[in-house]
Structure 1
Amino acid sequence: MKLSVRLRLTLLYSGIFFVVGLLLLGISYMIVRGILDDTRLRLQAAPEFVPNHVILEPSGKLVLVNVSRRDMLNAQQNYEQATMARFLLQAGLVVTLLGVLATTAGWVLSGRVLRPLYQVTDTARRVANGHNLNERIAYSGSHHDVKDLADTFDLMLARLAHAFDVQKRFVANASHELRTPLTINRTLVDVALRRPDATPDTQRLGESLLVVNTRHERLIDGLLTLAESDRPVLERHQSVDLAEVASYVVDHAGEESDAKAIVLHQALASAPAKGDPILLERLVQNLVENAIRHNVQGGEVWVTTRLSDGEAEVSVANTGPIVPAYDLEAIFEPFRRLRTDRVRSDRGTGLGLSIVRATAQAHKGTVVAEPREEGGLTVTVRLPSSASSPLS
């Protein structure tokens, strides 16, 4: 059983008190026992009959009698037993009562001592669940170890916030600086191809340059998306129905699927998730594009969305060649393809499923790929549902 720090401290305090209380009770018992033993020893040293012993008769009259030593010892033994029994009972009740009070006091005091730690934990949990990194603990208590911890955590949050801001600015700048030259190149090549005096060699060269330029555009777009999706979703999270996203993606994938005579099947049930709509659309788009490009001529693709065990699920399956199970992990690594194919450019840049995994992890989801017996893959992404387990 997992015990909280507060409960552990309370048990420690009460345990120490009961140990000390029992120790004091034992010492007191020995002292009282010694006093009674001294009285009995004096009686044992007395003569056979103790003269002029005063007793009180039922009538109220005091009478002087001679009492034997044996009767005196028996009376003393009964007195000792009654005294010790009463002492242990009353002392036990006192120790128990004080132990309960000590446990209560320990629970209250440990709660006050640990309050700054709870504040640190709550702040860390809110940040981890997707809130603003600009949030701080700002502990204002006296200077001690807990304040040092809170100040250190605030400093870490400040550095993380700065790092994410730098990353966001870098991605924005890189997006502009990398895409602009490629756009200019595409425009210049298009203009050259449309010239009336363009020779057949120039036409072939221009078309080859456009293919290379397109591949570079896809590569840069994938790298920027991977950089954006490889961190937790801190902003722009809202409820997104994966069924609507998948329907939109499938509708716009018709041109590419028609080129290979691939049939797209849809089974789209409502699957509300919470996250970044742009990243989730890119996730589904990469799954569908991957299923089309790594398929056979005249193959099929099945796109399914549903709610399963409180999670939003999107699954894309396709026909194709047999995929060995030991090769599956490679397809989720950047620039990796099945059988380490890095040469062919007509099947993408090798970033599609890497972006899918990074986006799923950023949304606290999972992605699993399973080979189909008939050939091809089934890739399933599960995300927390906005109806049951929101990110925020």
Structure 2
Amino acid sequence: MARIVLGVGGGIAAYKVASLLRLFTESGHDVTVVPTESALHFVGAPTWEALSGKPVQTDVWTSVHEVPHVRLGKTADLVVVAPATADLLARAAHGLAGDLLTNVLLTARCPIVMAPAMHTEMWEHPATQANVETLTERGVHVIPPASGRLTGADTGPGRLPEPEELYAVCERLLAHGASQPAAAGELPLAGRRVVVSAGGTREPLDPVRFLGNRSSGKQGFALAEVAAARGAEVVLVAANSSLPAPAGVKVVPVETALELESAVTDAARDADVVVMAAAVADFRPATYVDTKIKKSHDPGDPDAAPTIELVRNPDILAGLVRDRGDEANPVIVGFAAETGDASGSVLDHGRDKLVRKGSDLLVVNEVGVDRTFGADDNTVHILRQGSSHVVDVGPATKHDVAAAVWDAVQEIL
């Protein structure tokens, strides 16, 4: 059970936060709701008190003998602010302390999550973006708003993510910091820019067929979610995945290996870490046919089939290492799906590939029938360049694997 302070800003999206509060309390967390005065115009104190089981206050003058403006922040395991309005972001960025919530933000020595929600024009205003940048640099985990229907007929970025998404981010953040709560500025990946690739590429043969693989993208998405929970700014290059976009993560959808190479190379230019978890096709058809390839109707050869010429796709991981040269940044992590065979074990093949690719880390997946692809857990071995030490993980969930990978990356950083 964690002690959570749930700050509520004065925006129409406050009604959605009642569902977030219910998710926290049903999971056994001890939640204190601290709304702003304007938030109570949208959802009244009786609602927050009934759902949390605790009294609600907005100012620093109630129960002064308990010094709530200091006690709440110092004793919390997590502070969550949703919706974080433009005004609230500005006050937090400038260290103002005019009510109980802004006092809590100044005294908190635990992770802080802020989920902005406002009209698109307010979100995109340079002042708001500057405030978000300031908060992020201090280690506050700012979850970018979703795009969708806003107040009235407006549509665009500025919508509060769904309560389930916010809850998932908070739970992972709590899981990371449960043993020793850190100050907001001490999130291990705060201020870092991370690029993760996920999913499986598809190489089109004709308008209805493609060469592909069984990758679900689950591991890459888990890597992106855990990195975001640890404070990183994350770009997720997703190939053909139907998984929902992780809260707080920028998703760049791609289809082919060449598209993935372009997107990853572009995003990696100012990245601190690149993790290549996508299953990239080694080959693609040499020629794309504009119309559907038909079966043969030659009566002399009813079993005739077309011959498809393949060409090799670029080795994206090796290209990233080559482009980096002698620089230390970015840290590059590769993934390799391997099976043992007569020529060597899974680890033997993994070590050979680590040397060939030149990445800093190589995460070797054990694959085979009914293993890894599409499953919710897997077994991996994390190898580090220049070291004989192996980190064995699993069978474990994708998120546990992701946590182990980021632990290894943090050692390098």
- The bucket for the TM-score relative to the shorter chain is under 0.3
Higher helix share: 1
Q: Radius of gyration: which is bigger?
A: 1
Asked which structure has the greater RCO (Cα within 8 Å, sep 6+), the reply is: 1
TM-score between both structures, scaled by the size of structure 2? 0.21
